[in-house]
Structure 1
Amino acid sequence: MTVKQLSLPELADACGVLGVSAVGLWREPVAEYGLDATAKLMRAAGLTVTTLCRGGFLTAVDPHARVVALDDNRRAVDEAAALGTDTLVLVSGGLPPGSRDLHGARERIADALAELGPYARERGVRLAVEPLHPMYAADRCVVSTLGQALDLAERFPADQVGVCVDTYHVWWDDRAPAEIARAGAGGRLHAYQLADWTTPLPAGVLEGRGQLGDGSVDFGAWHARVAAAGYTGPVEVELFNAELWARDGREVLAETLARFREVG
């Protein structure tokens, strides 16, 4: 998503030129290009798919809507397996229309994980619950902290459900370092993503993720915490940023790689 202006073939080519060996994919461009075609493209380019994003949106009350959501998440698991990644990132979903019941919404997420976890494990895929910044709690994700994500994940085996740590969403939380250690001790630190926090936020706030080094996040400290928790997996950069999307994608990819090396 950092360079969503590039087609998947353009992305694969640019990664090859820059020496990037792994990429996290989103379901929408995969569906547009074709699942089988994407898997073949990634293999041919020598690219490892680190994660697939996203499943989730599991908070609906309406029975039909819940069936639809569960079916979609099963498809997402199947897509992850086809792409060769072992991790599907979940954005849990916001409050249903007219509801103010945060606890009930989180319990419905747990109910869904109870169904999806075994399905995913049978296909070699782990579910990574990603907490989003509290400003998204109403409409996008009622799981706002790593503690809340782990409280959900720990109801299930670690090879079924863990967490995704995204610096953009949790950098502000003084309890997050202890929760990272908790996730590592339980074998639940399934994904690690980077974006910087810059202000002012744009209208709608979704596309406000800053380029690495432009904002408030101390990436060196976060890298140290994640490493101390035993994480040795890939580190993804995920930037929703309209200004970056308006630029040449290859230029943005090269810049992002350079910034990643600077802040690491």
Structure 2
Amino acid sequence: MALFTPTSSGGKITFRQILQRPSVIESEIRRLTEEDSLTSKFFTPFAGPVAGGGMEYNKASLAELTLENEVEERAPGGEYRVTRPVDPDADVAPVHDWGTTVQVYEEQLARGQGDYLKRVAAQISNTLVLQLDSAAMAALTAACDPAESILGSDWSDLVFVGDPTDITPSSERPTADLSRAQLAADLQGLGHQYDTLIVHPTQGHELRSAYGPDLSGALASAGITSLVTNRLVEPGVAWALKQGGVGYVGFEDESGIVVRATEYPNRRTLELTAYFQPALAISDPSACKRITALAG
């Protein structure tokens, strides 16, 4: 990553270096995107590039876990019952095409050294992540049946010590909400064990304030090993999920994010175009549960 590091000798980063090595910028943007992406918590990367303008996928359901008919007792000399496998419902996730072009002036690059390019890469990454994560959250919310949402308790006024009459009952604590979400998953029978909790920063603060150093243990008692806060989550809402189990995210270009650099010598300007073409396939919405009413 020498391209991003100012040298002690005062060396300058030139347009020519960027044009010769756009992959370095691409790698930096991809690294930042992967670190901050909320989408990666819900979706598993699709193997290989997406072809034909869409990603085909099968929708998980309880019906496909068994054959079409039950087995029957065979009488001596008889035959076993002939039955058929159940084919899952198929669907296609369309490919989106999102990107941006940023102009970099030679003077900015020369005077800002590596820090300027780092800042540009971070801004591009943040913009792409925001677009992808916003689309993912909108798709998830639309795919989840409101009737299957878990009605939670108010997390804003939790009391665990003090006067017994003021202590929050165990049935109204966050761990009870998580247990109800897991119970709903168990009753669906698809074998999901929720291990990740994603909340708005407000609910993250309320959890940390209420449980203090005991938070990890409390979450672990409900099967949760990872707590994620993100401002794109609706306030008062939490998502309990099996990490990566909701579906797949794929890209038309196998590298995911593509960066192209174009020089305009007459204007001493460099244009960096960064784009990606993702498809979001929600193959198993039962791999997550939406917990609501946490803000009272």
Question: TM-score when scaled to structure 2?
Answer: 0.26
Which structure ranks higher in relative contact order (CA pairs < 8 Å, sequence separation ≥ 6)? Answer: 2
Q: Which has the higher helix share?
A: 1
Question: TM-score when scaled to structure 1?
Answer: 0.28
Q: Which has the higher strand share?
A: 2
